[in-house]
Each structure stands twice: as structure tokens, then as C-alpha cells.
Structure 1
Amino acid sequence: MSKWRGNPWAILLTLSLGFFMTLLDLTIVNVAIPNMIEKLPATLDQVLWVNNAYILVLAVLLITAGRLGDLWGKKNLFIAGVVLFTLASLACGIAQGPGQLIAARAVQGLGAAMLMPQTMSIIIDTFPPQRRGAALGVWGAVAGVSTVAGPTVGGLLVTSFDWRWIFFVNLPIGILVVAMAIPILPGAARTVRHRFDIVGVILASAALFCLTFALTEGQKYEWNGWIWGLIGVSAVLFVIFLLHQRTQQANEPLVPFALFKDRNFSILNFVGAAVSVGMIGMFLPMNIYLQSVEGFSALKAGLVMAPASIVSMFLAPVAGRLSDKVGGKFILMGGLTLYAIGTLWLILVADVGTSWVTFLPAFIVMGAGIGGVFAPMATEAMRNVPPRLAGAASGVNNTIRQVGSALGTAAVGAVMQNQLASSLKEQATDRSTALPAGAREPFIKGFAEAAKKGVEFGGPSNMKAPPGTSPDVAQQLAALGKQVFSHGFVDAMKPTMLLPVVVVLVAAAACFGVRKYRPPTSTDTPESAAAAHAG
């Protein structure tokens, strides 16, 4: 592969494969939850921590890893991250208990945090500004495709084999990425001795840990006092971190404040968090709906959502090239608007017994929207970032997106829980009139208790008839229970999915603040073009 050394597109392919693995593992576990509970075996809470451990470590360490790439070499950290991620995937696949699996997922999150920021910063180093949009278009396509491909790939693997293969699938990809990265990725020529802000790392990691832990566990503990205490501690630590960083700006801070002097970088970091909330807010309730209400297998549910992935995969590189030529502001606004329209379309057509064909137009519109989001968002956010700050900028950008994912999961879970509490009780009360008088109150009470579990409630199969119930009444309870859950979940899902629509539309409106793109002239240097654009 020596002939490919330094080839920009070979570099991009190598980085994209590594990036794909890390993002796929953010969504692929959700579809395997029932299989893990049955075959590991594990409780629902333990399986949820399989996902949370990965998100928690990833979100906490992204900023630190981005800065380490600047200091120790982006190629070195990328390869080390891929190796660690691949070995941790093997450990996940052979885990014999939930404790081992959660620990391995935490290590997997560390590997993902090491490699993820390096992908964007190496792209910035490799591609000149006039070609960067096309490259980030491919990178954006990978980001969009991996997010929506998780349920499809996971459904195929779980249906064909079992949950362990959602981790084993990373092994050949990881080995291939390392084999490509060693000869292809450019090594950094370090000419300056760098220092590392240890105090900043500790403060940032502690603040992010408290915030992400509180967001991921808030629903479980019903947002009690100690959850809000953790959020308060996170806020205090964040203020201390900012004050400390202010004293470090003349040296080599973990987060250079100069990044936020660029209005585009600041706005598009908010947009990135909003996009994460918007995607989690749609895919989480939709995945439960397709499997628990419509009765689709994990594979069929993934295939129903696959058109969004396919359409975005083809459109994202086009959006990237257009961002180079005309700027990404209006492409991004159009993409966000299309995504919101597609989500609204799903809300309108989703019902008990809706045919899978009915969902296809909505997912195609959503895919077109996703295809117009990631590439211009990355291009405009990073357009004016000096190469020496690329790692720090990438770390900040990816961290904010992952915190957005955690926030989105928490917000959607809270809204869904609230909506389910009322909709299931209302449906149970209305339909209980068909039951014998003695069975009505336990029936209503059972659904009221189940609703407290929110999105963790597994569906009508979790509702058991009381001991001593006659076969006829038990059969009637089962039939009514399915109707209550199906109609109640749909009633709760629709207002819940309005949350991501609103958040994405707010993000689209925020893009009006993005500065208009000025194409560089033949006499511009990258520094002068960036300065003119930022000013």
C-alpha cells in the first residue's frame, strides 16, 4: 500500500472506516436489547448500562483525546484508538456476564474517544479549503449512514446469529483499518515541544462525567435530588474549568477560546447538538413502535428505516461538493427543514396496523434531509479553524454532539414517560369496560404501574394475568392488553416526536446567523481567506 501513502482519498477512506465503527456502535445495541436480556442473561437496567457506559466514556474523553492528537500525533492516536476499540469489541463479544460486557464497553468508548476527533482534524490537515467540503461530505455521509444503519445492521446480525455478532462485526473492520492506516496516514512532523493541561483535563472530565451520568440515569431515578445535585456539581466544575482555561490561553489550553470567536464555529456546535437530539428523538421511539406495536422483527424494523440511510449516503457527498462552491449555510438549512418535514410525516401516518410501505416516503424525505446536514455542518464549523487547533476543535465539536445525544435520550425518555403515564391509563380505563367488574381495577392498575417505566416498558407481553384467572378472562385480558399498549404507545409517541421537530427547526433558524461564504481568490492564502471570512 506504499503507493497510496499520502493519497488524500485513501486517507479519507481509512479515516471513514474507523469513524463508521465508532458511530455504528452508538445505535446498534438498541436493537439487540431483547436478545441480550434473554441470552446473556441480564436485567433491563444492566443492558441499558451496556449503552450508557460507551456513551459516558466517549463523551467525557473526546476533548482530551482531541488535544492529545495535537500533542502526540494524530496518526499515532488514531491507530491506538482503533486497536483498543477492536480488542474491546472482542472482549464484548466473548463476555460471560453483564459486568464483563459493561466494562468492555467502557474500554470500547475509550478507544472510540481516541480515534474519533483525529478523523476530522486529519481531514482538515490533508485537504485544502477548496476541496475540504467534498471530503467532509464523505465524512458526513459516514456520520449519517452509521447513525441510521445501526438498527438495520444490528437487526440482521441479531436475527441471523445473536447479540454477540454486533461486536464481532467490528473485528475485520478494525484489522483492515489498522492495516491501511499504518502505510497510508501521514505522520506528523513535530518541531515544537508541547505541554499538556492536566488540571484542565481533570476539570473537564469531571464536569462531563457528572453531566452525562445525570442525563443518562435521570429517568431511572425519577430526577430526584441527587441527580439534580450532579447537574449542579457539573455546572460548578464547568465554571471553574472556564476560569482555569482563561488563565491558560497564552499557553496551550485544552479548549482555545479563539475557536469561539468564529461565529460559525459557535453556532454550528449548537446545531450539532440539536441534530443529535433530533435523531435520537425520532429513532428511539420509532424503533420501539415498529417492533412492539407493529410486531416487526428487528431486521424488518431496520429495513423499514434503511431508505433514510441509503438516500443520505448518496446525497451527502453532493452536499459536500456544493458547500465548497457556494457555501453550506442554505444547504444545511434545507437539510434540517427536510428532516423536520420527514419526521412530521411519520407522526401523521404512524398508527396501529400501518403498512410498512406507508413509511417509505417519509424516510426518503428524512434521508434527503440527513444528506444535507452533516457535510455542510462540518464544513462551515471547521472552515476557519487553523490547522494547529484542528484537534481541539474536533474534540469540542464531537463532545458537544455526544452530550446532545445524552440530552436527547434523557429528554425523549422523560417526555415519553409522561405521555405514556396518561395515555396507557386512559386507554386501560376506556377498554376495561369490556372486562368482568372484578378484573377492571387490577387491569387499570397494571398499566399505570407499567407506564412508570416509560420507554423501558417492553409492551403487552410484560402484562401477566393475576393467578387464578379463568382461561377465558386471561385470553380477554391479553387481547385488551395488546390494544391498550398499541394505541396508548402511539398516542404517547406522536407528541414525543414533536420535540425533535421543534429542536431541529430551531437549529435551522439559528443557521441564519452563519456568515455568508466568500470563495477564496487565487491570491488568497488560507490564513488571509480565513481572517477575511471570520471578520
Structure 2
Amino acid sequence: MGGRSESVAGKRNPRLALAALSLSMLMPSLDASIANIGLPALSHAFAAPFQTVQWVVLSYLLAITCLIVSAGRLGDLIGRRHLLLIGIVLFTVASLACGLAPTLPILIAARAVQGIGAAIMMALTIALVSGTVPKERTGRAMGLLGTMSAIGTALGPTLGGLLIAAFDWRLIFLVNVPVGLINFALAYTSLPADKPAATAKKGPRFDPIGTVLLAASLGAYALALTWGEGHFGALNIGLVIAAFIGGAVFIQSQRLVAAPLLRLAMFQRPGLALSLALSIAVAATVMGVFVVGPFYLGHGLGLSAGAVGLALSAGPAVSALAGVPAGRLVDRFGTRRIMLLGLAGMVLGLTGLSTLPMLFGVAGYVAPLMLLTAHYALFQAANNTGIIQGIGADERGVVSGMLSLSRNLGLITGAALLGAVFAYGAGGAVTEAVDPAALTHGLRLTYGLIGGVLALGLIAALRAKPVKA
């Protein structure tokens, strides 16, 4: 698509535009983790059990998972800047509703609406990079957005804890309101306008049936892996089956409708499907490390809760610091080489995590964790840049949504599946009384499994062709 969407607008400040995109990435990432720390306070405030209160987190994540691809496609059709502004307003107003919610059901509903706004913001932020910064600086911009995502995820529990301790649980949501207003002002004044996709001007513009099928399938999958707090029963199995059946029906529907939500032909482009699959695997790896880590450091090495948090914080800190330098390396050496380097470094980090803690204790865990997260930043910057640069302008929204979806599915899968692998390797329930040797076995099994998956991904990436439009 030509015109203003393919170049940086003349009179607009690209630095302010990048600041707007950075806030649009930071806010949804922050709210994905900030509410977790408030669950005990919410349980007390509303006199509700944990199983009910956890829907404050689940409703947000499910809304993002179900709608992020559709949000990207809608941005392609009606204009990405226009829809991003709507998403920011929706997120900000819903944050205000969360902070003022008089009952738990209203809070859960407001969080779902907030998740819709977050889905729009996450889907379109990456897609808007190409129209905001010059092509030769795309890697740096992607690195910066990766940094903001890491900062938001890492900052959430800390900021939430401080706000609850000093004020009230309502502040963890109300803090979004002034930031959202600033974000809207920056986005409105600095982001270049774009045009709807030319291919969508005639005939059907959207695929409502496909949208519902995809949302239902993704929602069933996400619920299957989060329902029951790790206890995988008949309901979970039923939801997984429903998710796969729904996914198959969705794919068939995309072959029949005039204006499909996903053009299946684009997956035939070299490298795209592999890049999305690697994004799922890498996100699952990182989440798995942070799910397993607290149990091993706490029960296996005997650290206090505070010491565990401090040790694990080294990972997000390194990822945040490495984001921008990673983007510079991508711009200088290209996406393929940096992506391969990132994958190789992650495999090496997982190898260290499965062996060094037994020899060097906490230092043996933190050092390879830092190696892993630094190379995670390299992979993210390279993979995201390669995907967006290799996709036509009229599909950047939907592909950006798929990229964000792949990360979200990886996080959910990593938390549920790899947590179950660790528990299995440790001999069942992981408690303070479990034998440290059993925890070591669970650790090695989990990191060996995901290390093997990433090694296979590295081999596939070495043999694959880069993404092409």
C-alpha cells in the first residue's frame, strides 16, 4: 500500500510516534501482570474465594487471546491509527471502570472490556512501526517495543504491590487513566494516518463467522490450560477437543468465504509459519522458566520468597536492557543471523539451567537465566522485524495480531504444560516437603524438553528461507 502509511509523515515527529507506540505496548503488558499481586486484596475486599477472584486475571487474558487476530484484521480494513486510538480509549475507560467497580462481577466484566482494548493496542502497535520509522531503523524500534513489553511484565508485580500497600487495590487500575490520556494525546498528534486496505473497498469487508469461530476456538484452548489451577480433568480435555474441532472448522471456513479473516495462502510464504511457531515455542520457554524457577529456588535451594523474587528479576531486567541493543544488531547484521544467534543462545542458556544450579547453587541459576533472556531479546527483535518487513502493507495488522497471539498462546502453554512436566518429573505435587533431588529431576526434565524443542527449531530455521512478501 502506498502513500503516507508506507513512509514517515513529513511533519510528524517519529520520536513522539515511537513514544506513543511504546506506551501502547507498555500498558497492556503491565496490566497482564499487575492484577496478579492484587488477588489476595481483592479476595478480602469482596469476600470471595480465589477460584472466583482469579477471573479478574483470566477475563483479561481471554479477551486478548480471543480477539487479537480479529483486531489486527479490522485495523487493516478501517485504518490502523484510527482503530488504535479507539483501543486506547477503550482500555482507559475500562481501567476507570475497574477502579470504581462496586462489585466483583462488574470488575470482571470491566477487565474483559479492558482486555478488548489491550488486544487492539497489542495487535496494531507492531503493525504501525513500518509507517512510523524508516526501514533501516525498524529493528531498533522492534527492540524498543520488546523492551517496553518486558518492562511492563516485570514492573507489574512491583508497582502493584507498592500501590496496594500505600493506597488501595483500586489504584492498580486507576493508574492507567492518566497514562492512557497521555498515550492518546501522543498517538493522536504523532502517528501518521493510514488508509484502509485497498483490497477491502469492494464486496465483503469482514468475516464475522470466522471471527466467532476463531475466538471460540482460542477461548476454549486458553480455558483448557488455565481452568482448574493445574488439575487437568475431563472438562479440560473436553475444552481441548472443542478447541481443535473449532480450529478445523475455522480453517475450512476460511477457504469458503469471500473476505476471510486469515488468507491461508500467506502461510505458504517461506518462513512465516515457522517464525510464528518459533514465537510460540520461545514464549512458552520463557514462561516455563519463570514457572519452574520459584519452586526450585524456594524448595530446592531454600531461598526466601524475597530472595527468589530478586533472583528471578535478573531475567526481565536483562531482557529490558538488551531490547534496544538487540534492535541495533538486527539493523546492522540482518534478521536471519540475529534470530539464529538468539535461538542458539537460548538453547545454551537452557543447557546451563539444567546443569549449573546443581554445581553452583543460586549463581548457577541466575547466570544462565541472564544468558537465556538476553538471547530472548535478540530473537524477539529479529523475528518480529523479519515478519513485519516480509509482509505486504494490507496484511500487517492481521499478521501483527497473529504475532502477538503466538506470544500469548506460548505464555499460556508454557505456564500450564511445562508446569505439569515439572510436577511430573518431581514425582507429583510440589510442596516444601518434596525431596530436592526430585526437584532437580523435574528441573532437568522440563529444561531438557524445551531445550530440545528449541534445538529442533534452530535446525528448522537454519534450513528455512526468510519470510518474503
After TM superposition, the score normalised by the length of structure 1 is 0.75
Select 2:217's aligned residue among 183, 193, 207: 207
Q: Which amino acid aligns with 1:230?
A: L
1:146 aligns with 2:132: no
The equivalent residue for 2:6 is none
Correspondence list, 1:423-434, <5 A: none
Look up the SS of the partner of 2:305 in the other structure.
Answer: coil
* Secondary structure at the counterpart of residue 252 of structure 1: coil
From 318, 322, 340, the counterpart of 1:315? 322
- CA distance 1:111–1:27, change in 2 (3 Å): same
Give yes or no for the alignment of 1:185 onto 2:191.
Answer: yes
Match of 1:92 in 2: 98
| Equivalent in 409, 412, 417 of residue 418 of structure 2 | 412
Q: Does 1:534 find its partner at 2:468? A: yes
SS at match of 2:271: helix
Residues 53 and 105 in structure 1, CA contact (< 8 A), matched pair in contact too: yes
- Output the amino acid matched with 1:223: G
Partners of 1:241 and 1:257 in 2: CA distance? 11
* Residue 240 of structure 1 pairs with residue 249 of structure 2: yes
Structure 2 CA distance for aligned equivalents of residues 75 and 394 of structure 1: 14
Equivalent position of 2:49 in the other structure: 43
* 3-state secondary structure, aligned to 2:233: coil
C-alpha distance in 1 between matches for 2:35 and 2:11: 35
CA distance in 2, matches of 1:176, 1:200: 35
Secondary structure of residue in 1 paired with 2:261: coil
Instruction: Find 1:509's aligned residue among 459, 464, 467.
Output: 459
Q: 1:363-512 counterparts in 2 under 5 A? A: 363-419=369-425, 422=427, 451=429, 482-484=432-434, 492-512=442-462
1:324 paired residue among 331, 337, 343: 331
Question: What's the secondary structure of 1:186's corresponding residue?
Answer: coil
Q: Is the 8 A contact 2:197 2:394 kept in 1?
A: no
Segment drifting more, 373-382 vs 484-493: 484-493
Amino acid at match of 1:337: A
Q: Secondary structure at the match of 1:196?
A: coil
Kindly tell me: are residues 400 and 363 of structure 1, through their superposed partners in 2, closer, same or farther at Cα, counting changes over 3 Å? closer
Deviation at 1:301, TM superposition (A): 4.4
Distance 1:105 1:239, change over 3 A: same
Deviations 1:51-108 (A, max 9, x none): 2222111111011111111122212211221122122223333445543332222122
Deviation at 1:32, TM superposition (A): 4.3
2:284 pairs with one of 277, 284, 299: 277
Q: Distance in 2 between matches of 1:46 and 1:350?
A: 37
For residue 106 of structure 1, what is the aligned residue in structure 2?
112
C-alpha separation in 2, matches of 1:162 and 1:302: 23
Closer, same or farther: CA 228–132 of 1 in aligned 2, 3 Å: same
- 1:169 and 1:377 map into 2 onto residues whose CA distance is 32
Is the aligned partner of 1:341 residue 2:341? Answer: no
1:285-309 CA-partner distances (Å, limit 9, x unpaired): 3245556752223xx6444333333
Contact conserved, 1:74 with 1:118, CA < 8 A, in 2?
yes
Matches within 5 A, 1:62-81: 62-81=68-87
Say if 2:70 and 2:261, in contact at 8 Å, map to a contact too.
yes
Distance 2:323 2:79 in 1: 29
CA contact (8 A) 2:131 2:192 kept: no
Contact (CA 8 Å) 2:76, 2:196: kept in 1 or not?
no
Distance, in Å, in 2 between the alignment partners of 1:503 and 1:312 is 21
1:219 Cα offset (Å): 5.5
Q: Is the 8 A contact 2:77 2:197 kept in 1?
A: no
Contact 2:25 2:122 in 1 (8 A): yes
CA root-mean-square deviation: 3.2
Given the alignment, which residue of 180, 203, 208 partners 1:198?
208
1:12-64 CA-to-partner distances (Å, cap 9, x unmatched) read 21111111111222233444444544555442322433222221111110111
Q: CA deviation at 1:319?
A: 2.3
CA shift, 1:201, in A, is 1.3
Larger Rg, first or second structure (1 or 2): 1
Task: Specify every segment of 5 or more residues in structure 2 that has no aligned partner in the other structure, as ranges.
Answer: 1-8
Structure 1 gaps of 5+ residues are 424-450, 460-481, 517-532
1:141, 1:374 within 8 Å by CA — same for their partners in 2?
Answer: no
Say how many residue pairs are matched. Answer: 455
The reply to whether residue 361 of structure 1 matches residue 367 of structure 2 is yes
1:229 matched to which residue of 2?
Answer: 238
Does the 8 Å contact 1:55/1:406 carry over to 2?
no
What amino acid is the match of 1:511? Answer: A
What CA distance in whole angstroms lies between the structure 2 residues aligned with 1:151 and 1:272? 24
CA distance in 2, matches of 1:48, 1:156: 20
